[in-house]
Structures are given as structure tokens and as C-alpha cells.
Amino acid sequence: MNVLFVYPEYPDTFWSFKYVLKFISKKAAFPPLGLLTIGAMLPEKWQKKLVDLNVESLEDEHLAWADMVFLSAMIVQKKSAKEIINRCRSLGKKIVAGGPAFIAQHEEFTGVDHFVLNEAEVTLPLFLHDLEKGEAKKIYTSSLRPAISETPIPLWSLINIHDYAALALQYSRGCPYNCEFCDIVIMNGRKPRSKTPEQMKKEFQALYDTGWRKSVFIVDDNFIGNRQAVKNMLPVLIEWQKEHKYPFMLLTEASTDLANDEDLMQMMSSANFFKVFLGLETPDKESLKECGKYQNSSQNLVEAVHTIHNHGMQVMGGFIVGFDNDTESIFESQIAFIQQIGVVTAMVGVLTALPQTRLWQRLKAEGRLIGGASGENTDGVLNFMPRMGIETLHDGYKKVLSSIYSHKYYYQRIHTFLENYTPTAIRRVGRNDIAAFLKSLWRIGIVSRARFHYWKLLIRTFMKKRMALPIAVELAICGLHYEKITKRICASKPFAHGQGPA
């Protein structure tokens, strides 16, 4: 059996970093971890190839070779996924599909032969058993939440690791919280399930054996969802990193209550974590309560962010406007909040009702849904009727973006971040980093209108916090990407799902 794994193309999004990748000579931000893991679950005797459309094009020779095509996608990749399906069907290829886009609304994807949904540890063996008997069904689904202690190491041989800015692995699934707008509990449940410390040690060793020596993204929904399990695993990771001279810089996602656990922050810092994404959402307490984000409403978010920064981890933040409790004052409040906390990488989006979430169900019952979700956090596409009105929300949203990603405000946040930031991560500076810095000297230091801010940042950081210079340069380069994304969004007219931006 010849199996071709195909990963659809991402549109140009906040997290695609397409404008940044050119600086470091990479083709995509992250590899398709799900497909690489599925590859390790399939029979070893099968022949396997992978085409990531974010790295290379899908050629006719690829499809001619394949007996079966396995496809995985996020909601934001839906358009590309449908194009791949149509192309495969035109050539008579059998298609097996799974992943978030298909779990949410598999009925939207006509032409797929077999849907293997939910968690592959449960549904994939059922499909393979029926396939061997020649009785494979259309849909395989399950509500079971399997232990992931037996999940295999991803099949890294399927990709060229040097095409990517960072590699990825998974430690746990699930989140103990139940935010109204979040689909994590639908996908992975509320009881976090984690891999064993020995299992994680083997996964890190497998990455190391590929020759990788850069950033590793632990893709968990909430890395600290089960704190005791994390605290049992981290000493093993710390010792492994120390023995191997800290080959990896780590980033992950967590909840804001990380700031309440001094021991956990110190352990993560010792393990060489240098970035963490937090869903900060909003400074408005009533809106936090509205969406069930009680872990945020019960603490001082400004102090929480500064505390994490002081432990050597840069906070990347998610922010939302458009809650029912939001008034027109929320836009100025968000701008002030983001500037005050010094979260440089601030992903601001309008509220979106993802399929089957509590928010989706509530808005559906209220008759306020107006379409499906685009899956893109920051495209400004609405799929429900907001209390404040579509035009008011879009105008305010654009005001937030145009303000926080103006050169003045953006570089102000970098300085605020650096004031509270204590560099602790052991960072390997390679040829790509040096090349990126040299490119930035011309692209930002000479050509860009941000050149005054850029030189001020370099000089000030060199004089006051020299160890933070690499991350200062990185943030300056990332600013080019955020600036382009912001200009594109702000040039559009208000639109809802089903309508395109002007």
C-alpha cells in the first residue's frame, strides 16, 4: 500500500509568519505533527510519503504513486483541503480525512471516502481492521478519551526538518477549563491526559537524533492543565536538556494561573522554555465572566504577565473583542491594556462562534448565528450578530489593530516587555540568526519607516540588557509581518461570514 499524506496550505494569517520566514530561510513555521504521528501508527510495511503544501507543491507524480491519500486540516485550511479533495477525486484516488476541520463539520466535505474522526488512537485501528477485510465504512467516530501513553513518536523521516522554523511535539491533551468560545473540550475533553516522563524523554531524543537544534513547540491546549503531572515530567526534561547542552528552546500554551505557581515557573525556566501563549482575552471582568474565563477574572492580569516575563518567558497573548458585555469603550481599554502589560505578540480577534461550542449553541438558540467559522483568528470575519452591531465592532477592531501595530505603539511594547523580562533561556545563535540580523539592518534599519524605533531598540537593548538582544531583533522582524497583516485587515470593509473582504 502506497500512502500519500497531504497537508493543505494555510492562508496568510497572523501565525503563518510568511514575511518573517524569508529572513531565516525557512518555508513554513511548523510541520504537520498530526500527519507525522498518523504515519507512525500505520503498518510499517506500507510505503509512505508526505507533501506539505506550505513547503512544496502537490505534483501529479505524487498522486499517481499513491494508492490512498490521507488528509488532515484545521478549519482555516478548509479551502485548500477542498481543492485537494477535488483533485484527488478527478484522478480516482481514495481519500481518508481526519482532524479538526472534519471533526467540526465533515458533511461539508463531499468526495471523501472515509472519515476517521476524533482521536486516532481509537478510530484509526477500527478503520484499518475494516480496510483489511474490504469492509471500510464511511465514518469512524468515538467519544472515548484514550490514554496517550502509547502514542508513537512522530515519523520525522517523512519531512525535511530544515524547511521549518520550529519542530513540534505533544505532551498532553485536554484542558480543565470550559471557556464558552473554546472548542478544546469538544476535541480533547476537560480531563488532561499526558504522556509519561520516559515517553517525553524518548520524544526529545528522537528530535535530537534528527539533528534539530532549535525551537520546539509543545502544542498542548494547556501545558499546565495537570500541574502535578507536569511537575513530575519537568525534572526529567531539565536533566535531559542539561545532559545534551540545551539543544532546544521551548514554547507552549498555558493558562494565566501559571503566574501563581512559583515552582512551576522556575522549573519551566530551567527546562529552557522561552515563550508561552496565554489566552488573556480582555481587561473587562464582566466579559471574562460572560465567557467563563474565571481563571482570568480572579487575578491581576498585568501582574501575572510581568511575573512570567520576569521568569524568562515571553508572553504571547490572545485578545478578543465583541463579547455581549463589551461596549464601545472596550477598544480603547484593549489598546491601553495591551500596551500596559507589554505583550508584543498580541493576537487580537473578533469573537467567533466555533462549531458545537457552548457559544455556538447559545447563539444558535438566540437566532444570532449567521454562518460557519472561517477558522482564522484575526481576519475580522463575523459569524454571528454582535450586540454592538457589525460596523461598530469592525471599526473598533480596526482601531485596535492599527494602534497596537503602529510603529510607535509596537516598539513601546517591546521596551515595556524588556523592562520586565529577565533572560534565562540558553539560546543557540546560528548562521540563520546572524543572516536574519544582517537582513534586518537593511530591511528595517535603512528602508523601513520604523528605522528610528529600530535603532533606538538595538542601542538601548545593547546598553541595558545585552542578553535580550536576539529576542529584540526577532520582535523587530516579526513587526514587519504584523504590520502587513494589519494593513490587509484594515483595508477591508465590514463583512460577515459568506461575504469576502473588499
Name the CATH topology of 2-140: Rossmann fold (3.40.50)
The confidence band for 499, taking pLDDT boundaries of 50, 70 and 90, is very low
| Average pLDDT of every residue of the chain | 94
The confidence band for 153, taking pLDDT boundaries of 50, 70 and 90, is very high
The confidence band for 497, taking pLDDT boundaries of 50, 70 and 90, is low
Mean pLDDT of 382-405: 95
- pLDDT at residue 274 above 70? yes
Residue 153 has which C-alpha cell?
513518536
For the domain bounded by 166-418, which CATH number is listed? Answer: 3.20.20.70
State pLDDT tens for residues 170-218: 999 999 999 999 999 889 999 999 999 999 999 999 999 999 999 999 9
Mean pLDDT of 399-408: 98
CA distance 106 to 110: 8
Domain positions in the chain: 2-140, 166-418
How confident is the model at residue 495, as a pLDDT? Answer: 57
Closest CA to 490 of 389, 377, 405, 386: 405
The confidence band for 296, taking pLDDT boundaries of 50, 70 and 90, is very high
pTM, two decimal places: 0.94
- pLDDT at residue 55 above 50? yes
Of 1-5, 288-292, 352-356, 362-366, which range is least confident?
352-356
CA distance 387 to 393: 9
Check if the beta carbon of residue 91 is closer than 8 Å to that of residue 67: no
- Sequence-distant (6+) residues with CB within 8 A of 155 are 36, 37, 39, 40, 48
CA distance 1 to 70: 12
State pLDDT tens for residues 463-496: 999 999 999 999 999 999 999 999 988 887 655 5
